[in-house]
Each structure stands twice: as structure tokens, then as C-alpha cells.
């Protein structure tokens, strides 16, 4: 039996999708709760569909530029999502994320993740303090060492801030398959709550060792580049959805790609970027309904071979 909170989340998502139906051109979704996964280090449940902000949130802070992004964040939250992943290196995205949260009054409903990408302890501290200011918050849910830059130094600083209660979780990130061995090396010697990396139908290297290691050692995973920055969607732009999509309740290629990622049990959440509420709502639908089994995942891979 679903909780009252889940019922309200489902109702909000259905209302958002109903308003967007002419754009989505898809049947009404089933009234199901958004998939959640546990963070191993705490047991806290995190909605499995989040929001990345690289490029999409790098806009000027004026009403005209922010208006569509307000609706993106509103759609995420009303659809049961909470995770927003950003970084100081994403231009204005971090400041935009903080401002949107303030305007909507939803900071307490968000799981805010950002990054540090500095060399040296003091430079790292300055950048992190700037992130608190940009995000307009006294506590950041997750702070990650971005692309393994000065990892040992920055993780030491993050642990201090976590002990002070200013951070809830800490982690490390990268976005290239060529860095997966380096990520594994860090995970073997450093205790972190999260690791973020690329994983998709087109970039499956993480299935070999990285995802199994995280599953075995209780490390939460955030997945970036699920569409390979649009490359995968461009391949199928003119192709109709296959019968497999109907089997899984997917009404778009994006949902099919996200379901492939979410079917890996070691995945905690996936963070596709979105600049429109239409795409945000569509992404959320991937977190409802069936996920592909091993045979269906193999068929999805074949579709993009």
C-alpha cells in the first residue's frame, strides 16, 4: 500500500503530465510512485531520477531566462524527485539552482549535490564556501571531488565539513570511461558515500568492475551522461519506438535508455540534464513501471549497436 506522500507525489506528476500531454504526445502514465533507491551508508531513500544542470542551467539570472527552468524544477519536485546535481564549473548553473530553489520555496524538498574542483586546501575551502552562498543553503546534501582533482586533499576537507554537519554526504566523480580505473583506485583507499560516473547503453564499461565494486562495498552511485550528451537520442531520432518499449511501458526513447540504466541494481540514481519541463516530465516516467530484465537489456543494446 502506498503512503499518503507517495499518493500526493503521483497525483502531482499526473497533473503535470496532463498539462504537458499535447507536447509529450503520449498516453497517460499509470499512477505509480517514482522509483527510489537506498543510499547504502545511511539507508536514506533517494528518488532514482534526478536532474543534472551542466549546460542546461548555465543561463543569466533574469526572469526571462529562469522562467522555463522554474518549471523544470517544479516538475521534478511535484513528480516526486529531489536530486539536483550541479557544480561551480558549470558556469551559472550552481547560482541558478540556488535561486530557483529559493523562488519555489523547495529547498527542504531537495537533495542538493555540488562539487569541488580546486587544487590545494585553501582554494578548495574558498570554492566550497562560494557554493554554499550560490546555493543559498547552510548545508549541502552531497559534495563531490570533481573529476578526481586533488582528491586526497579535498576529501580531507570534505570529511571535516561533514563532521561539522555542513555536509551530509561526500563523494568523487568523473565523466569518462578512461577514468574508471582511477575511480576504482580511489574507492579502494578512500571511504566515500557516493561515486558519480558515466554509464549508458553506449558506454557500458562500468558494468565490468565499477558497478559490482560499489554494490559489494556499499557505495551509492550517481550516473551521468545516460544519453551520451544526446548522441544516443540522435541515433534514433527518426526511428519509431520498438515493441520492446511497450513491454516496459516506455513512451519515448529517452525513457527506454533511462530504464536500461536503472535496471542495474547498483545504480542509485541517474541525473539527465533538462532545460524544459516537457523533458523533465518524460524523464520521470522512466522511474515508473517495469524495468528491463537481462534479456530485454540485451535487446536494448542491440537497438543502439
More confident residue, 199 or 21: 199
pLDDT in tens, 4-15: 444 444 544 555
pLDDT in tens, 102-154: 999 999 999 999 999 999 999 999 999 999 999 999 999 999 999 999 999 99
3-state SS, one letter per residue, for the chain: CCCHHHHHHHHHHHHHHHHHHHHHCCCCCCCCCCCEEECCCCCCEEECECEECCCCCCCCCCHHHHHHHHHHHHHHHHCCCCEEECCCCCCCHHHHHHHHHHHHCCHHHCEEEEEECCCCHHHHHHHHHHHHHHHCCCCEEEEEEHHHCCHHHHHHHHHHHHHCCCEEEEEEECCCHHHHHHHHHHHHHCCCCEEEEECCCCCCHHHCCHHHHHHHHCCEEEEECCCCCCHHHHHCCCCCCCHHHHHHCCCCHHHHHHHHHHCCCCCCEECCECCCHHHHHHHHHCCCCCCCCHHHHHHHHHHCC
Whether 214 is in a domain gets the answer: yes
Q: And the C-alpha cell for 241? A: 519506438
Asked if pLDDT for residue 21 goes beyond 60, the answer is no
Whether 86 is in a domain gets the answer: yes
CATH number of residue 119's parent domain? 3.20.20.100
Whether 93 is in a domain gets the answer: yes
pLDDT in tens, 161-209: 999 999 999 999 999 999 999 999 999 999 999 999 999 999 999 999 9
Whether 37 is in a domain gets the answer: no
Question: How many whole angstroms separate alpha carbon 197 and alpha carbon 200?
Answer: 10
Domain of residue 258, residue span: 45-303
Q: Provide the b/e sequence for 50-66 (b: ≥16 CB within 10 Å).
A: bbbbbebbbbeeeeeeb
Question: How many whole angstroms separate alpha carbon 141 and alpha carbon 161?
Answer: 11
Whether 78 is in a domain gets the answer: yes
Number of independent structural domains in the chain = 1
Whether 13 is in a domain gets the answer: no
Question: How many whole angstroms separate alpha carbon 57 and alpha carbon 269?
Answer: 19
Whether 56 is in a domain gets the answer: yes
pTM above 0.75?
A: yes
Q: What size, in residues, is the chain?
A: 305
Whether 7 is in a domain gets the answer: no
Amino acid at each position: 500500500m502506498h503512503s499518503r506522500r507517495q499518493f500526493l507525489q503521483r497525483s502531482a506528476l499526473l497533473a503535470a503530465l496532463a498539462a504537458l500531454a499535447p507536447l509529450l504526445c503520449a498516453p497517460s502514465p499509470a499512477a505509480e510512485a517514482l522509483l527510489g533507491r537506498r543510499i547504502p551508508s545511511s539507508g536514506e531513500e533517494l528518488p532514482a531520477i534526478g536532474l543534472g544542470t551542466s549546460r542546461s542551467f548555465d543561463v543569466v539570472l533574469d526572469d526571462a531566462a529562469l522562467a522555463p527552468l522554474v518549471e523544470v524544477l517544479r516538475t521534478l519536485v511535484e513528480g516526486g524527485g529531489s536530486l539536483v546535481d550541479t557544480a561551480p564549473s558549470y558556469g551559472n548553473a550552481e547560482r541558478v539552482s540556488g535561486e530557483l530553489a529559493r523562488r519555489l520555496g523547495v529547498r527542504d524538498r531537495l537533495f542538493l549535490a555540488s562539487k569541488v574542483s580546486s587544487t590545494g586546501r585553501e582554494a578548495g575551502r574558498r570554492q566550497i564556501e562560494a557554493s554554499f552562498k550560490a546555493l543559498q543553503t547552510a548545508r549541502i546534501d552531497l559534495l563531490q571531488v570533481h573529476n578526481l582533482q586533488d582528491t586526497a586533499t579535498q576529501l580531507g576537507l570534505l570529511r571535516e565539513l561533514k563532521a561539522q554537519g555542513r555536509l551530509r554526504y561526500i563523494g568523487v566523480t568523473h565523466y569518462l570511461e578512461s577514468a574508471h580505473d582511477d575511480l576504482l583506485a580511489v574507492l579502494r583507499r578512500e571511504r566515500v558515500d557516493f561515486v558519480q560516473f558515466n554509464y549508458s547503453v553506449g558506454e557500458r564499461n562500468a558494468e565490468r568492475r565499477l558497478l559490482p565494486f560499489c554494490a559489494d562495498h556499499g557505495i551509492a552511485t550517481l550516473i551521468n551522461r545516460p544519453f551520451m550528451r544526446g548522441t544516443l537520442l540522435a541515433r534514433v531520432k527518426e526511428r519509431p519506438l520498438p515493441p520492446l518499449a511497450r513491454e516496459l511501458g516506455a513512451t519515448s526513447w529517452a525513457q527506454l535508455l533511462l530504464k536500461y540504466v536503472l535496471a542495474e541494481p547498483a545504480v542509485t540514481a541517474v541525473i539527465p540534464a533538462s532545460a524544459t519541463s516537457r523533458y523533465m516530465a518524460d524523464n520521470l516516467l522512466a522511474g515508473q513501471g517495469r524495468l528491463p530484465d537481462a534479456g530485454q537489456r540485451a535487446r536494448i543494446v542491440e537497438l543502439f549497436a
